[in-house]
Amino acid sequence: MRRESLDIYDERPREMKAYLSNFGWHFNKKMCDFAVSLMKKVNSATNKKERIDPITKDKVDELLTRYGIKLDNNALYDYIYVANMCKADFLKSSVPDEQHLALYIKDTIDDPDAPDGTTMRRWYATMIAAGEPIEWDEML
């Protein structure tokens, strides 16, 4: 049984409604670039947070091809966001290398029990918790 998302009853700014009507709960390029620009990783040498050097779409595509991975449920730039989030939070830790990064992308994007839009909804929940505003009109 398919259930409606409970957030359909939330009051949303006009600009957010416009974004969602165009892209749904998925990252377009501008939204992905914005989300990735906020990502940081702890530098083990200095023990300070530093912005990551983003993985480009071309590099993610090349990575997936190299390991023979095909995404079945990707929408727009969701997989690019996932690749960069994994790089920031897990790579060289619980995700030891690029092959496992590629597998992480596949597992996240093609998660069989994740409803449509889960990747961006998780990010959005993090932005709300962090008090980080999103300029929706700039993401269109």
- Per residue in 56-82, pLDDT tens? 999 999 999 999 999 999 999 999 999
Residue 118 within any structural domain of the chain: yes
Residue 31 within any structural domain of the chain: yes
Residue 15 within any structural domain of the chain: no
Domain carrying residue 101: 26-42+52-139
- DSSP 8-class letter at 94: T
Q: How confident is the model at residue 27 (pLDDT cuts 50, 70, 90)?
A: very high
Q: How confident is the model at residue 8 (pLDDT cuts 50, 70, 90)?
A: low
Question: Per the structure, how many domains does the chain have?
Answer: 1
Q: Give CA 35 to chain center in angstroms.
A: 7
Residue 117 within any structural domain of the chain: yes
User: Taking Cα atoms as reference points, which of 104, 82, 105, 101 lies closest to residue 92?
Assistant: 101
DSSP-derived secondary structure for 28-92? -HHHHHHHHHT-EEEETTTTEEEE--PPPHHHHHHHHHHTT---SS--TTHHHHHHHHHHHHTBT
- DSSP 8-class letter at 107: H
Distance (Å, whole) CA 124 – CA 133: 10
Question: pTM of the entire structure?
Answer: 0.92
Q: How confident is the model at residue 44 (pLDDT cuts 50, 70, 90)?
A: confident
- Percent of the chain topping pLDDT 70: 94
Residue 110 within any structural domain of the chain: yes
